[in-house]
Amino acid sequence: MPKQVDHHERRESIAHALWRVVDQQGWAKATMREVAREAGVSLGQLQHYFSSRAEMLAFAMEFTSEQTSHRVERGLTSLGHPPHPRDVLRLAITELLPLRPDSRATSRMNAAYVLEAMHDPSLRERVGVGLREGRAQVELLIRQAMSSGQIRPDCDPTIETDLILALTGLAPLLELNVIEPRAALAAIDKHLDRLFEPAS
């Protein structure tokens, strides 16, 4: 009997191939044909799963988001119980920066996804929903920390949320060797120290 094809596994394999192409060659080189070659399937087989480059990218980003969540969950297990919100924020920020091979690939995929979404209305809406959900989670964590006295009550949770998200903008500076990883981590730690500084 012919071997049964696990379609979800095949889609994940294609997503990993897209990661590798984007990571090593850039989004401009991530054509359907090149991703098929990297995945070891024919162009026709790839098109059976994804009808367009944008559809392939959207699935890859959903898979990327799942992998990032798994890494954050694993990181949280090494923290205290319950983990301090400062540590949770630091972990979430650093997982989005290109500081290790796996997070570097994720960072590059995120950049490709945002660039593509700027010119594709369907992707734009999907990206916007994901980013708003992520932002809401950060703001909820900050508000909870304020309620429990871990962040000063005179802070503006909306502004502090936006400043936390702005730290992910260190990604291109790291990619282009404008700053060193230790400098990025020092900036993140300095900001978090100020945010969680006890009221005088």
In the predicted structure, residue 79 carries a pLDDT above the cut 80: no
Domain-by-domain residue ranges, the chain?
53-195
In the predicted structure, residue 4 carries a pLDDT above the cut 60: no
- The predicted structure's pLDDT at residue 89: 94
- The predicted structure's pLDDT at residue 199: 63
pLDDT in tens, 147-178: 999 999 999 999 999 999 999 999 999 999 99
- The predicted structure's pLDDT at residue 93: 93
Q: What is the residue-wise DSSP string for 81-146?
A: SSPPHHHHHHHHHHHTSSSSHHHHHHHHHHHHHHHHHTT-HHHHHHHHHHHHHHHHHHHHHHHHHH
**For residues 83-94, average pLDDT:** 92
The whole-model pTM stands at: 0.80
**For residues 127-135, average pLDDT:** 88
Q: How far apart are CA 134 and CA 147, in angstroms?
A: 20
In the predicted structure, residue 130 carries a pLDDT above the cut 80: yes
- The predicted structure's pLDDT at residue 2: 46
Radius of gyration (Cα) for the chain, nearest Å?
Answer: 19
Instruction: Count other Cβ atoms within 10 Å, centred on residue 188.
Output: 19
Pick the CATH number of 53-195 from 1.20.140.10, 1.10.580.10, 1.10.357.10, 1.10.10.10: 1.10.357.10
